[in-house]
Each structure stands twice: as structure tokens, then as C-alpha cells.
Homo-oligomer: A and B are copies of this chain.
Amino acid sequence: MKRKLIVDLEPVGRRGEANEDTSLLDVAQSVGVEMASVCGGEGWCGKCRVRLISGILSPLTEDEKNAISRDDIQSGYRLACQSKPLSDVKIDIPPETLTTTQRLQLEGVGSDPYRDGFDPIVKSIDLQLNAPHLEDLESDLTRVCNGINSSGATTLHADLPVLRNLSHQLRSQAWSLRLAVFQDEIIGVFPSGSLLVGLAVDIGTTKMAAYLVNLENGETLAKGGLTNPQVVYGEDVVSRIAFANQSEENRKILQYKLVERLNELTAYLCGQAGVKQDQIVEVSVVGNTAIHHLFLGLPVRQLGEAPYIAAVSNSVHVRASDVGVFASPGAYIYMPPNIAGFVGADHVSMLLASGILAKQKAVVALDIGTNTEISLYVPTGAGSGRLLSCSCASGPAFEGAHIHDGMRAMPGAIEKVQIHEGAIRIHTIGDALPVGLCGSGILDAVAEMRRVGFLDSAGRIKKDIPGMRPTKNGGEFVLVPAGKTGHGRDVIVNRKDVNEIQLAKGAIRAGIEVLLTLTGISYEDIDEFIIAGAFGTYLDVENAVRIGMFPSISLNRFKQVGNAAGMGARLLLLSQKEREKAEQIARQVEYIELTTHLNFTNVYVDALNF
């Protein structure tokens, strides 16, 4: 008998199985991933387009040749209903084909994105100028600068993108215009009354969120999120760095895909807000160090090898056009500083949004992901304090990866589990029939199994419990039997899944413990425990404490703040002071490299048990 072929479906992160008679559409449906399909798999609607990333598929059919352009065929596009795997394959499902969407955490807690007075980075200046004539021959730029100076500004200059538009704009707008000015540079010329907007972007390893901000009053005009399209080239940043290192072309693909998707998202947001893309005069982007480098087109080889060195850790301010981001031709992108190879600008942005340097108490702030960044602030009096940050390799388990029935947070994912008097209660995203477990669901499942005694302190699944099935590898526990799932197969938690959660929670706890040790305080001294990010929003804090991921402090000290990095990105558009604070955070932070910390291994091993 032939072995089953493995089908990895990206960007959703689901794995299915196939034989040579199973179409990709069948595989997707079997694991609860829904694709657009009008014709029901007959091959004529062309809606179930997917792209082959690796592996071998059955030959192109006539229907596919009719439905897909020659260029797209060259790029690897196929119809999921027509193509069958001939080997293990990896498939990219583009957004237009995917009908189930990943849950995104766009908002942070608290509604006001600015705090310290409204002082947007880019100012607008309205001018009404006199037209030149033979006795008034100033150049166009000089005329504009003198017009501003009469309003009391200092010497200004402009670069080519603005100079190339200025003369036409002045004349077509009858010498009446609105300027966008950044510091001493004119970065945009617009018709009078044009609204100037900013774009704030938080790029995560798996998701990206973007916000259009009114630079006149700080309001968020539109917001939205999409999957990071780099996911198909590697689930975590380490594998993407490896992909990028294979060739210069690969590195460029990673950049291009990211920028292209951001431009699509921005175009959509502009449509929502009723503004043109060239009204965007400033962009702030936050992301972890690898994403930061890939986005800017910086090399990542040195980030992927010990000692994991960033090309640049200072904030960068570069032309949007140099990165390929669509905005006003003179617009810049600001990215706040990186702290280290694995503590990036997104963590700085999150710390900024948390206002951590202004706290009068000991605060832990963390953002859980494949890498979890942890910071600890301990005030030392007189408005100052120590700020320590580290990164721990918590792995992708909380993104649903490396878990037998793991999946990303989208409809059909079990996100809550309770075991009550032997009965299992679950809640799925979208109240759909369950097809797998997302991060908070697997954390709940493990915590509940431990609470009711199905797991011992080392994480072994006990025998002789209802739902337990022995296997070669330590047994598996049936959480939802096949009859009650969306795809007709059991949803289980096995010994390996429990181990993955142990490794993840142990790494996070060990990171916290090392920071506490270095500052000489104990966990009871933590007055506030800030949990940021999408997974952090949905996780059950009590269960996280129960399995030992977080220290056992009063539950009311925990604060789940949602997408604080995205909120920080907006702050970076709205006030020069906030940018200075971000720089201050990066300067002040003491980065702790856990792998060189003497006690880390001991602490880690201790933290693995329940």
C-alpha cells in the first residue's frame, strides 16, 4: 500500500493527507480549510486558484489551461479541484481563494492613540502665492519657501520627488496649495484642503495590521489586517532567513511579497477612508528584527547565524519609494530602533504603547509568539528605572504549529476548552464545527488535562482515563470524536503536543525568572503583568498560571492589552515626543542574551514541569 502524501496548506498552516486520487480541494476540505468554488469542483469557474510552492502535482488539465493565464501558469498557479498531489506538496492559497480568514487582533486596549499632546510628525502648511512675472522671477521652490517663511518657518528644502511635481502643481492649482513639511523638508505638495494622512503598520511573523491615521486630529480612519505573505516561505523567521540565504533572488521575493501585500492592504484602507494613496505623507512600520530587515531589503545572513547581529539597530528613516511602499512620492518610513537580533522594533513599539518608562512600579511586559520578547521594568526612584529585555525561543506551538491538530486562529479552531466532571466543553471561533486547535485552545486543553489529573507533573498522559488511546509515542487523548468535528476525523491531543506546550511555557517562564534574578526582585513584587499580541488577548490567564507559564500572582495584576505594537506604531506618527520615547526605550534597555546566562539551562529545565 502506498503511503499517504502530505499536503501543507499555507498561509493557514494546516496539514492534510492525500493519495493520488485526492484533489487539493478535497484535501483542503478534509481539514476544514474552505476555498472559493462556484462550480463545485468541475473545473470551469476558476475560483479555486492556488499556487504550488514545492512538490509535484498531476499534469495541467485543459480546464486549467483555459482558466489560468499563461503567466500565472508559469508562476505555478493551478486549480485546486483539478490538481492532485504526486508527492508531498506545499500549496499557497491566495487570499481571494481562501474564504475563511484568520482572526486578527487589530486593536489595543484603550481608545486614544496619543497622550502627550498632539504634535504630528508631518505638518501641513497652506499657501496662496502670487504668480511669477517678468519682474518677479523667483524659482518655484524659492517662491514656496519664501511663502512659508513669511509664515515664520525656517529654511526649507525639497528633494527630487517633490521638485518633479512642484511646477505643474503650482500652475494647475492657481498658486494655491497645501504643503506637507517634515522638519526642514517639503515632502509633499497637494491641492488646498487635502487631508494629510499617516500609515501605521505592524508586521508580525504571521500577520500584518495597518492603520490609516488622520494627521490633523489623530483619528484612525481605517484599519485592517492580512496574513504575512512570507508565511509560505517559512513559518518562522529562522526558516525565512534560511530561505533568504539560499539566493539573492529569494531574499528579494520575501521583500517584494511583503511590500506588495502591504500596498494591497493600504489601497483597500484608502478606499475605506476615501483618501488617495498619495495623501499618505508618513509611514511608521514596526516588526521584529528579521521582518524589519526583510522589509527594508537589508541582509539577514548575519541575523541567522550566531551571534545573530542586526545590520542596524538605530531607528531608520527612509523614503517609502526606496522600499517600494506606495505613498506620496516624498513620504518617508520611520522604523523605531531594534534592541537586538531577536528583540525588535515591534517590542519597542509595544513598550512605548504600554508607557512602561513612566511606571512607578515593577512591570513585566511580554509579547508571545514563536519568539517571545519579555521586558521587566523596575523603578529605581526619581523617575528612573532599569529596563531589561530578553527573547526566548517559545516555538510555534501557540500559533498552532507542531501540534497534531493545531491550526491558526480561524473559524473552526477550538479556542476554549473546559473539562468538567468528565465532560469536555469546547468553544470554536465562529461557532463552527471543530476542525483543530488554535494556540489558546491547546493551552486550555493541556491546562485542563493537568487540572483534572489526566497529565502527571512531567506531562505524561495517564492511562486508564476516558478518551485516552495508547500509541507508540505516549498515547493520545480524544478531545472531540470524529462524529462531532467538521471534517469527520478526531481532534486529539497527544503526548508530543503536551511536550510542545511544556517547551514553550518553560522557555517563557525561564525568561521571566532570569530577568527577576538579575534585578533582584521576586515574582510577588511584579505589580503589573502586561500581555500583548493576538494570542495574548485570547489566552486564559488562569490556565497560563496553572501550567506555570506565568508566575502565580494575583490575577488582577495581569493586563491583556491586545495589539499594543500597532497602537505604538500609530503613536509614532502622532507625536515627535513619542518617537523620542521610543529612542529612549531602546537606549535604556539592557538586553539579556539568555543563552549566555549561566543559570538559564537550569531554570529552563525546572520550568518544564507542571
Contact of A596 among B132, B134, B318, B323 (CB under 8 A): B134
**0 or 1 for each of A289-314: is its CB under 8 Å from B? (1 = yes):** 00000001111011000111111111
Q: In the assembly, what is the distance between CA of A515 and CA of B340, in Å?
A: 65
A164 within 8 A of B: yes
- Nearest CB of B to A223, in Å: 28
- Is A318 a contact of B140 with CB atoms below 8 Å? no
Question: Given A142-B314, A302-B167, do A340 and B309 touch, yes or no (CB 8 Å)?
Answer: no
For chain A residues 234-261, which have a beta carbon within 8 Å of chain B?
none
Q: Do the beta carbons of A167 and B309 come within 8 Å of each other? A: yes
A301's contact among B132, B139, B167, B314, by CB below 8 Å, is which? B167
Which chain B residues lie closer than 8 Å to A167 at the CB level?
A: 298-299, 301-302, 309, 311
Q: Does A158 contact B (CB under 8 A)?
A: yes
In this assembly, does A184 line the interface, its C-beta being within 8 Å of a C-beta of chain B? no
Known contacts being A135-B596, A163-B296, A593-B135, is A141 close to B318, with CB within 8 Å?
Answer: no
With the chains together, A158 CA to B314 CA distance in Å?
A: 10
Chain B CB within 8 A of A431 CB: no
**Contact status of A157 and B311, CB under 8 A, knowing A135-B596, A593-B135:** no
Query: What is the bound-complex CA distance between A311 and B299, given in angstroms?
Result: 38
Distance to closest chain B CB from A286 (angstroms): 17
Q: Is A400 an interface residue (CB 8 A)?
A: no
A140 touches B341 (CB 8 A): no
Does A472 interact with chain B (Cβ within 8 Å)? no
B298 touches A139 (CB 8 A): no
- Nearest chain B CB to A161's CB is how many angstroms away? 8
Is A386 an interface position by the 8 A CB rule?
no
Residue of A139, A167, A168, A299 most packed against chain B (CB within 10 A): A139
A573-610 interface (Cβ within 8 A of B) = 591, 593, 595-596
Inter-chain contact A158/B341, CB cutoff 8 Å: no
Count of interface residues, chain A, beta-carbon cutoff 8 Å: 47
Tell me, rounded to whole Å, the shortest Cβ–Cβ distance linking A462 to chain B: 41
- Are the CB atoms of A318 and B137 closer together than 8 Å? no
Least CB distance from A366 to B in Å reads 20
Q: Would you call A20 an interface residue if the criterion is a C-beta within 8 Å of the partner chain's C-beta atoms?
A: no
Docked Cα-Cα span, A322 to B158, in Å, equals 14
A133 touches B168 (CB 8 A): no
Residue of B nearest to A296 (CB): B160
Q: Which of B132, B137, B141, B311 contacts A163 (CB 8 A)?
A: B311
State whether B595 touches A163 (Cβ < 8 A).
Answer: no
Instruction: Contact check, A139 vs B313: say whether CB atoms are below 8 A apart.
Output: yes
Interface string of A145-175 (1 = CB under 8 A from B): 0000000000001111001101110010000
Q: Which of B132, B296, B313, B593 contacts A309 (CB 8 A)?
A: B132
A302 and B137 CA atoms in complex are apart in Å by: 11
Interface centre among A134, A137, A298 (most CB of B within 10 A): A137
Check A140/B593 contact, CB under 8 A, given A301-B167, A322-B160: no
Which residues on the B side are within 8 Å of A160 (C-beta)? 296-298, 316, 318, 322-323
Q: Is residue A176 within 8 Å, beta carbon to beta carbon, of the partner chain?
A: no
Partner of A140, one of B159, B309, B596: B309
**Cβ-based interface call for A338 (8 A):** yes
Question: Does A21 make an interface contact (CB < 8 A)?
Answer: no
CB distance from A307 to the nearest CB of B (A): 5
A138: interface (CB < 8 Å): yes
> CB within 8 Å of B: which residues of A?
132-142, 157-160, 163-164, 166-168, 171, 296-299, 301-302, 306-314, 316, 318, 322-323, 338, 340-341, 591, 593, 595-596
Question: Given A134-B593, A164-B297, 4 more contacts at CB 8 Å?
Answer: A163-B298, A163-B316, A164-B299, A168-B301
A-B contact pairs, 25 of them (CB 8 A): A132-B307, A134-B595, A134-B596, A135-B596, A137-B308, A137-B593, A138-B313, A139-B309, A139-B312, A139-B314, A140-B310, A140-B312, A142-B313, A142-B314, A159-B318, A160-B316, A160-B318, A163-B298, A163-B312, A164-B299, A166-B311, A167-B298, A167-B302, A167-B309, A171-B302
